[in-house]
Amino acid sequence: MKRNEEHLDRAFMALADPVRRALIARLSRGPATVNELAEPFDITKQAISRHISVLEGAGLITRTRDGQRRPCHLDPAALEALTGWIDEHRLNAERQFRRLDKLLTTMKEEEQ
Amino acid sequence: MKRNEEHLDRAFMALADPVRRALIARLSRGPATVNELAEPFDITKQAISRHISVLEGAGLITRTRDGQRRPCHLDPAALEALTGWIDEHRLNAERQFRRLDKLLTTMKEEEQ
């Protein structure tokens, strides 16, 4: 449980940065090396490498070896674990709202 | 666009903390005051108030006035905006994987 909490901490923290979100958006269209990922950004390759390490540490991306290349890959299952957490609570909240709406409607009907 | 990026920064950062996630889980079961929210936690009411401010600043919760009480409410639509962002990139990535799988199958078939 504690381990899972730490994983959620790291993963949500990794998403809380516009450059890292742009890297995820790029990787969702296919794997890419650090050089390829750095190209469109106006920041150093070192800075991009650090952002990639954060994403890798959060389990959102993995790196494989392909000869001299070490492309980064997005892990859809890791993203799904995050939407799973959020959706569980969103659906609970929506259920609560519907229950409250129903209660208010019943109260109004009984008043009349 | 920039405004939206800042909103995503704040919202994902707000989720990157186990106490704030526990507060969201509690509020998904219905509104609660700061006192009610603080009760199960072994931290000061001040610390809980700060976490609530972070959640409020991120647009994930709102507060209403109900006489002397100021209950906090979870905003399901704000949570949905976050899963929307994640799901867009997850689905892209899954599509890419399927395309690659298909390509590899075709290549194998042509080899035989």
Share of chain B above pLDDT 90, in %: 76
Chain A residue with CA closest to B16: the answer is A9
pLDDT at B2: 67
pLDDT at B100: 84
Under the banding of pLDDT at 50, 70 and 90, the label for residue A2 is: low
Tell me which residue has tokens 């108030």: B49
Under the banding of pLDDT at 50, 70 and 90, the label for residue B101 is: confident
Q: Do A76 and B86 count as a contact with CB atoms less than 8 A apart?
A: no
Q: Is a pLDDT exceeding 80 seen at residue B3?
A: no
Q: What is the mean pLDDT of chain B?
A: 92
B21 touches A at CB < 8 Å: yes
Mean pLDDT of B80-88: 95
Share of chain B above pLDDT 70, in %: 97
A57 touches B at CB < 8 Å: no
Instruction: Looking at mean pLDDT, say which of B9-18, B57-66, B69-78 comes out highest.
Output: B9-18
DSSP structure class, residue B67:
T
Residue range A32-61, pLDDT digits in tens? 999 999 999 999 999 999 999 999 999 999
- Map out the domains of chain B as residue ranges: 2-111
Strand-pairing partners, residue B73, are B62
Q: For residue B32, give the 3-state DSSP assignment.
A: strand
Segment holding B62, helix H or strand E? strand B61-63
Residue A112 Cα, gap to closest chain B Cα (Å): 25
pLDDT at B53: 96
Q: Do B86 and A83 count as a contact with CB atoms less than 8 A apart?
A: yes
B44: left (phi over 0), alpha (psi -120 to 50) or beta: beta
Q: Is a pLDDT exceeding 70 seen at residue A98?
A: yes
A12 touches B at CB < 8 Å: yes
Angstrom distance (rounded) from CA B95 to CA A80: 14
Q: What is the value of pTM for the model shown? A: 0.89
Q: Is a pLDDT exceeding 60 seen at residue A9?
A: yes
Q: Give the CATH fold of the A2-111 domain.
A: Arc Repressor Mutant, subunit A (1.10.10)
DSSP annotation string for chain A:
-HHHHHHHHHHHHHHSSHHHHHHHHHHTTS-B-HHHHHTT-SS-HHHHHHHHHHHHHTTSEEE--BTTB--EEE-HHHHHHHHHHHHHHHHHHHHHHHHHHHHHHHHHHHH-
pLDDT at B23: 97
Q: Is a pLDDT exceeding 90 seen at residue A112?
A: no
Q: Is a pLDDT exceeding 90 seen at residue B56?
A: yes
Contact call for residues A27 and B93 (beta carbons, < 8 A): yes
Under the banding of pLDDT at 50, 70 and 90, the label for residue B67 is: confident
Q: What is the mean pLDDT of chain A?
A: 93
DSSP structure class, residue B89:
H
pLDDT at A96: 87
